[in-house]
Structure 1
Amino acid sequence: MANVAIHVTGGIATYKIVSLVREFQKHGDVVRVAMTDAAEKFVTATTFSALTKYPTLTSLWSEENADKIAHIELADWTDLAVIAPATANVIGKLANGIADDAVTTTLTATAARKVIVPAMNNHMWSNPAVKRNITQLIRDGYEVMPPVSGRLAEGYSGTGRMPEVNDIFAFVTQATKPILKDKKVLISAGGTREQIDPVRFIGNRSSGKMGIALANEAANAGAEVTLVVGQITVLLPTHPQIKIIHIESTNDLFKTISNEFTQTDILIMAAAVADFEPETVATQKIKKSADNDEFLLKLKKTPDILKTVGATKKDQLVVGFAAETQGLLANAQKKLIKKNADLIIANNVATPGIGFASDDNQVTLLERDQDPKQLPKMTKNELAAHLIKLIATKIN
């Protein structure tokens, strides 16, 4: 049981914090709430007071508990502070040491663990000032749970949406259990690009969401993570225990993984890797001509990264993904044996609503001498948490 202070700021996701309060209470924690003026435009302080059975701190000048300095009393009481949803405004204030309301003043006085959950429009989230402020908060000891991609209040999709309540709770509780402490984890994410000419390339629709979710979960579990990223459509993680290496082609990825693998305890190949590349690359843009209606492109195999590292592993754990459109289990089982992997995570990317570019996934786990285990459909963050726990069990 812990004393959890939830600091609520003014965003459309504020209504979800009612469920977050309940989630902590359901697991035996004692919850108190502080709110900004803007947060009260969405949910009243009375709602949180009724749920927590404690006064909701909304002002530095409240006459309740006049015998105490309210924000200091709450700060000293706190074992865990969660700031959700965290607006760009409050992120900027905290990063720059501004304490001008009940929330920022209490957090400035709080010595306990602090987890911040940003939520805002995607353009705001990608703003350089917000990025700088997030980096500063991490340096100051805050843990940051990045927003997810999804439909925003403005009516279109983008990265900035607050994660679901169960994902927030899992993030907070997982981070308290360093199940991969002192382990080095190498993860690939995103898609590769194989150049045809200076303008064109062969690529795929991978967003990088799954690999980045795994990197965040592994870092929260105490691991030292190296994330090798190709082409992605989401923001990179900002966790201080994640080192990021950028690559473009399959050959780039092969060289990087080969170099890093010898110092790695766990390899998770979540990237969508091209199986073929052009045999030759044109030095100039290939032009259409009036007398030629066809263009023939000759391809050759790319290096088999998973097979190569699987053949050289020692006491290391090797995990691969199998994105299939048919023969899911048969193809994944062949991959498990042929690549000498310890675990293959298979999914049918032809199924609507899962796989490439989606926030959700549904996978089947394949291990040697075990029956395949199909998991229910879940968010990629939930799946990442499940997989990191499973991987930690195996490596330990």
Structure 2
Amino acid sequence: APKKSPSPLAPKKKPLAPNFMLIGKLLLIIDGPAALSHTPALLSGLRSAGRFRTTVAATPSAEMFLPLLALSALSGAPAKAYSELTEDDLRQADVVLLAPVSGHFLAELASGDAWTRLTDNGRRRVLAAVARLEAENGAVIAPDGAQLLSEDNVVLALGAMGAVTVASPEACVEAVCTALTPQDFAGQTVLLTAGPTIEDADPARFVSNRSTGRMGAALAKVAARRGAKVIFVHGPMSWPTPQAPTIRAIAVRSAEEMCNAVLAEVPQATVAILCAAVADYTPVAYSHEKIKKEGTDATFALLLKRTPDILATVGALEQKPFLVGFAAETQNLTDNAAAKLRKKNCDMLCANDITEPGCGFAVPTNRLTILFADGRREDLPLLAKEEVAARVLDIVKREMG
């Protein structure tokens, strides 16, 4: 079928500027014995993020457990003692991360001129992950200009020294990524669905699909980094649920549960991105006992009924948010996706061919064809799913004006 030409009345859209790669320099200051367990994982996460150069500065108590040579190897850049930091080191840093850091060291910093230099008189972002003994009481007081990281705490066992709690390396990486990301989704509430749904037939069996939730998780993570409040309604995912202070995760199991959760949350959403692979059918009746094989029959019939159509339900709302649908296709991708976009009343629809290598379930990449209500089409190349998420959100931002 010939491609539809864009409406001559449709406004011309500006080309997208890349928004995925973040450019910045991070100064990581580590302190205390907790660095032994925390810092290698943190530096590994920062290097995997691959968006910024990290310089590590270690206090004497951290150097006792991790020498500078090891820190240089882990970070990929020369490390130095905290006492040797220069004004130029501070001036080059876009963000300072104190992780892990003892409450004592943080209090010392905050009480002297060093804090003014570190924060550049409040112009530089400073993030702090305080390591505290499990037995410690009382709240940590954040110095002026510091953001305390307390989400997703982990307990680090330090042998004879006991155990400490501190913000996880993953939470620290997310905080740094957010600090270096333009907050162009600030003020937006994004409702996201992700993962499969499970439709139970009996205590042992269910109807589902191959979705891992990885694409939806990437969208949630990137939207949160860009300043959005994210409501993340997800089925039983095999991919980890994204963690961030601005992500509120709601776990569901069935299509009906997901539909109910979405309808309860959608009134506060300004954007709805329905990325979940919702099961189209569910067993008509649930058997409370395991369904047994009968005699020598070689076949078995399970009667199914349609599940609620969540995308169509949201699309039919009188006051719907900006609505983005997803379509996993195996043939006639453009025609099927265009029909779905019209039928479900979406503002845009992202379709992929799950038979194409690298574009199906349980893979780190995706290739999308994006269709719009006015007949326009954009094709994204094969990209990492996190970069696909950034491109999709770029387009959403552009389309919303």
TM-score by length of 1: 0.69
CA contact (8 A) 1:347 1:363 kept: yes
CA contact (8 A) 1:15 1:43 kept: no
Match of 2:174 among 145, 150, 154: 145
Q: Residue in 2 aligned with 1:81? A: 96
Is 1:5 aligned with 2:27? yes
| Structure 1: gaps (5+ residues) | 26-30, 50-55, 65-69, 84-89, 101-107, 117-125, 147-167
Is 1:244 aligned with 2:249? yes
Q: Residue in 1 aligned with 2:265? A: 260
CA contact (8 A) 2:198 2:206 kept: yes
Match of 2:275 among 270, 275, 278: 270
Q: Residue in 2 aligned with 1:178? A: 183
Give 3-state SS (helix, strand or coil) of 1:369's partner: coil
Q: 1:339 to 1:44 in 2, by over 3 A?
A: closer
Q: Residue in 2 aligned with 1:113? A: 125
Is 1:189 aligned with 2:194? yes
Aligned residues: CA RMSD: 3.9
Is 1:355 aligned with 2:367? no
TM-score by length of 2: 0.68
Separation in 1, partners of 2:236, 2:192: 14
CA contact (8 A) 1:12 1:42 kept: no
Separation in 1, partners of 2:353, 2:48: 36
Give 3-state SS (helix, strand or coil) of 1:240's partner: coil
Q: 1:81 to 1:354 in 2, by over 3 A?
A: farther
Q: Report the structure number with the largest CA radius of gyration.
A: 2
Is 1:217 aligned with 2:222? yes
Is 1:41 aligned with 2:53? no
Match for 2:314: what amino acid?
Answer: V
Give 3-state SS (helix, strand or coil) of 1:186's partner: strand
Separation in 1, partners of 2:166, 2:46: 22
Give 3-state SS (helix, strand or coil) of 1:199's partner: coil
Q: 1:259 to 1:11 in 2, by over 3 A?
A: closer
- Flag the structure with more relative contact order, 1 or 2, with Cα contacts below 8 A and sequence separation at least 6: 2
Tell me the CA shift for residue 300 of structure 1.
1.0
CA contact (8 A) 2:95 2:179 kept: no
Q: Deviations over 1:298-326 (max 9, x none)?
A: 11111111111101142620001001111
Query: How many residues in Structure 1 have an aligned counterpart in Structure 2?
Result: 323
Match for 1:34: what amino acid?
Answer: A
CA contact (8 A) 1:135 1:238 kept: no
Separation in 1, partners of 2:281, 2:74: 59
Match for 1:129: what amino acid?
Answer: V
CA contact (8 A) 1:10 1:40 kept: no
Q: What is the aligned-residue identity percentage?
A: 31
Is 1:332 aligned with 2:353? no
Separation in 2, partners of 1:143, 1:199: 40
Q: 1:19 to 1:361 in 2, by over 3 A?
A: closer
Q: 1:42 to 1:365 in 2, by over 3 A?
A: same
Q: 1:4 to 1:345 in 2, by over 3 A?
A: same
Separation in 2, partners of 1:227, 1:298: 31
Match for 1:303: what amino acid?
Answer: P
